[in-house]
Amino acid sequence: MTALVRKNVEAPFRSSKSINPSLLLEKGLLSLDGENSKKEHLQKLVALPASAEYKTAFNRWFDLTGDDSRFQQAAFTVKNRLLIGMNGNAGLETGCCLSRNYGMPYIPGSSVKGVVRNWANSNLKAFSDDIEELLGTDDSEQPSRMSGTVTFHDAWWIPKDGGKPFVLDVVTTHHQAYYNGSQDKPSDTDSPIPNHLLAVQGSFLFVLEGEPEAVQTCQRMLEEALEHNGIGAKTAVGYGYMKADLEWSKNNLMTAEEVLKYDVLQLTEKRLIELFSKDLAKTKERNDLDDFVKKVIEIHHDLISSWQRETKKSAKNRYKAYQFLSPRL
């Protein structure tokens, strides 16, 4: 066996609190001796959290792109798992898009732009000229090829307390001899061969740059593309689909007014009635009571108006809630 890492380097490398996962993935496997050597190697990588250096870099990037007049930030959570950059490491047959400096997963801006373009081509064909202005042309043979008015930056993995970016995954090949050409036909007696992969979990910060109106249009398309088309490999079997990370966005991206609007939109009729009847005393303790009630009336006006026919006998709590809110309708 030929060691890939010198012994006097390997021990401190693995024990460091600032280990770079990309080095561990590309340079850290000492050998492929043993049936589970690759799996064990990846398990060590999966256990790694984000380094303090990465958290500092992420915060710096977050602050730099916080200008609403030029940038649009959005956080999305991977619903299942994400496979991105699988072809990036032929030696281990386990690729993953990792930043060189910090070893954390990221989604290239070109991939982000690509899923938006694909979604737009499938759903907005009538607006192809406008889409080309936003995204640019993708035909390299066109003499007037342009880059587009909106810039799609790399999406950074969001470091959360206790969160780890990687998860061990596996894909199983059932007919290896057939696929490599050494066997004419696949057979039901072929033994399955598991191949372990490095998948990604958690949330990503997506950043678009350009004129506000153009960026907002692309942002809406990005939301649709991530929700319905996914990104990365194996989307056909459920990988790469994302939804908005509203909890992180509430704490980091939304203004106080946007948070209030979001919270009021989530209120069901049952919860509305409770807030202004049996929980009314607690509701009155809110520091933003006037703004809260105003927003409730604005969003749920028609629903509240429908309570006016209720009486103490027919629906006591609904009647009480209406009596409190009706003067403000």
pLDDT tens-place values along the chain, 329 residues long: 444 445 555 555 455 556 677 777 776 666 666 656 778 878 888 888 888 889 999 999 999 999 888 999 999 999 999 999 877 554 566 678 889 888 899 999 999 999 999 998 888 766 567 788 888 876 555 545 557 889 999 999 999 987 899 999 887 767 667 777 777 787 777 777 777 888 999 999 999 999 999 999 999 999 999 999 999 999 998 999 999 999 899 999 998 999 999 999 999 999 999 999 999 999 999 999 999 999 999 999 999 999 988 888 788 999 999 999 999 88
Of 224, 253, 282, the residue at which a domain comes to its end is 253
Considering the domain architecture, whether residues 129 and 272 belong to the same structural domain is answered as no
Q: How many CA atoms lie within 13 A of 233 on its CB side?
A: 16
Exposure b/e, 264-277, CB count within 10 A at least 16 = b: beebeeeebbbbbb
70: amino acid identity, one letter: R
Q: Cα–Cα distance between 102 and 83 in angstroms, integer?
A: 19
Of 208, 233, 253, the residue at which a domain comes to its end is 253
Q: Which domain holds residue 289?
A: 257-328
CATH number of 233's domain: 3.30.70
Q: Is 93 inside a domain boundary?
A: yes
Considering the domain architecture, whether residues 208 and 304 belong to the same structural domain is answered as no
pTM: 0.80
- The predicted pLDDT at position 14 comes to 54
3-state SS assignment for residue 212? helix
| DSSP codes joined into one string, 103-148 | --BEE-HHHHHHHHHHHHHHH-GGGHHHHHHHH----TT-TT----
Of 253, 273, 304, the residue at which a domain comes to its end is 253
Considering the domain architecture, whether residues 174 and 225 belong to the same structural domain is answered as yes
